[in-house]
Amino acid sequence: MLHDRIQGGRLYKLLRDRFGFLNWWPGDTRDEILIGAVLTQNTSWKNVEKAIKNLKAADMLSIEKISHARIPQLQSMIRPSGYYRQKAQRLKGICKYITANYGTLNCFFSQDTPKLRAELLSLSGIGPETADSILLYSAGKPVFVIDAYTRRAVQRIYGEKHEMGYSDLQSLLQGHVPADLRLYKDFHAQFVELGKNYCKKKPLCGACPLRQICNYATPQIP
DNA sequence: ACCCAGGTGGCCC
DNA sequence: GGGCCACATGGG
C-alpha cells in the first residue's frame, strides 16, 4: 500500500537518486516568493517569470510596494502570468492586508503555523496550495505542499482510482514524512521534477522512477 | 485549432 | 460538502 511505499523514505530516496537535491523555489526574497506563489496559480512558471521580471524592473517586487500600487499599472506588469485582472486585485489586497496589520512579512510570519495558515486562507486569492507554498517556501514552515504534480504522482502510486482531497493527501504525506524543512522543500520539488519529466502518459514509460515502486499489482486502499 | 499550466472564488444543488 | 464555471496568457 501507499504507506509502505512512502514510509522509510523509499519514494524520496528513489526520486532524490534520480534528480539530485533540488534547491527549488526560485526567488531571492520572501516577498518575491510570496508574490510568485500567487502569480503561478494555474499558470506555467515561464509566464510568471516574465511578470516578476516586469515587477523587478519597475522596482515593485515587494509586499509594501504592491500594497499601494495602482491597479492598471499592476495589471500591465503581471499580464503575462494570466488572469491578470483577478490577480492584480487579489495580490494587492493580500499585500495591503499584511502591511496594514503586521507591517512586515517577518512580523506576519512570526505566529503559530496553524493560525498563520488560517489567516492566509481567509484572504481572497489564497487557497490551500498557495497558503502552503507560502508557508513552506516563504515563511519556512515545514508544511507539505500538495499540487497537481504531487496529486498525479500519488495517484499513479495508488493506482489511479481513489481520488483524495487536499487535506487527506496532505495528512497522508505529513504522516509519513518527518517534518523537516529542507526535506519538505526538496520532496515537493522532486514531485514537480518527476511530473515535468515523467508520469505524463497513462502507462508509465520505462524510465519513470515510479516503476520501481509501482507495479500496478496491489492498488488496495487501507 | 485545441489543450495545458506549480488554483481560486462564486454559484448552485 | 461536492460539482461546475469564469478567469487569461503563452507554449506545445
How far out from the chain centre does Cα A222 lie?
A: 27
Residue of A213 and A78 predicted with greater confidence: A78
With CA atoms as reference, report the closest residue to A180 among A2, A5, A12, A10.
A12
User: With a 7 Å cutoff on the CB, does A45 touch strand B?
Assistant: yes
**Cβ burial A207-221 (10 Å sphere, 16+ → b, else e):** ebbbeeebeeeeeee
Quick: pLDDT tens for A197-206: 876 766 777 8
Contact (Cβ atoms closer than 8 angstroms) between residue A93 and residue A122? no
Question: Whole-number mean pLDDT of chain A?
Answer: 90
CA to C1' distance (Å), from A141 to B4: 31
- pLDDT over threshold 90, residue A213: no
User: With a 7 Å cutoff on the CB, does A127 touch strand C?
Assistant: no
Task: List the nucleotides on chain B closer than 7 A to a protein CB.
Answer: 4-10
pTM comes to: 0.93
- pLDDT over threshold 80, residue A220: no
Quick: pLDDT tens for A144-188: 999 999 998 888 887 766 678 899 999 989 998 999 999 999 999
User: With a 7 Å cutoff on the CB, does A89 touch strand C?
Assistant: no
Quick: pLDDT tens for A11-65: 999 999 999 999 789 899 999 999 999 999 999 999 999 999 999 999 999 999 9
In sequence order, the 6+-apart residues with CB closer than 8 A to the CB of A174 are A143, A144
Distance (Å, rounded) from C-alpha A75 to C-alpha A77? 5
Q: Would you state the pLDDT for residue A30? A: 98
Cβ < 7 Å from strand B, A residues 23-42: 24-26, 36-37, 40-42
**Closest residue (Cα, C1') to C9:** A82
A5: confidence class by pLDDT, cuts 50, 70, 90:
low
Distance (Å, rounded) from C-alpha A29 to C-alpha A178? 26
Q: Which nucleotide is nearest to A37 (CA to C1')?
A: B6
Measure the N-to-C terminal CA separation of chain A; round to a whole number of Å.
7
Distance (Å, rounded) from C-alpha A59 to C-alpha A29? 13
Q: Would you state the pLDDT for residue A164? A: 85
Task: For chain A, give the number of residues.
Answer: 222
The HSE-up count of residue A63 (CA atoms within 13 Å, CB side) is 23
Q: Which nucleotide is nearest to A84 (CA to C1')?
A: C8
Quick: pLDDT tens for A177-210: 999 999 999 999 999 999 988 767 667 778 888 8
Dihedral (C-alpha) A202, A206, A210, A216: value to the nearest 10 degrees? 60
User: With a 7 Å cutoff on the CB, does A82 touch strand C?
Assistant: yes
pLDDT mean over A65-78: 98
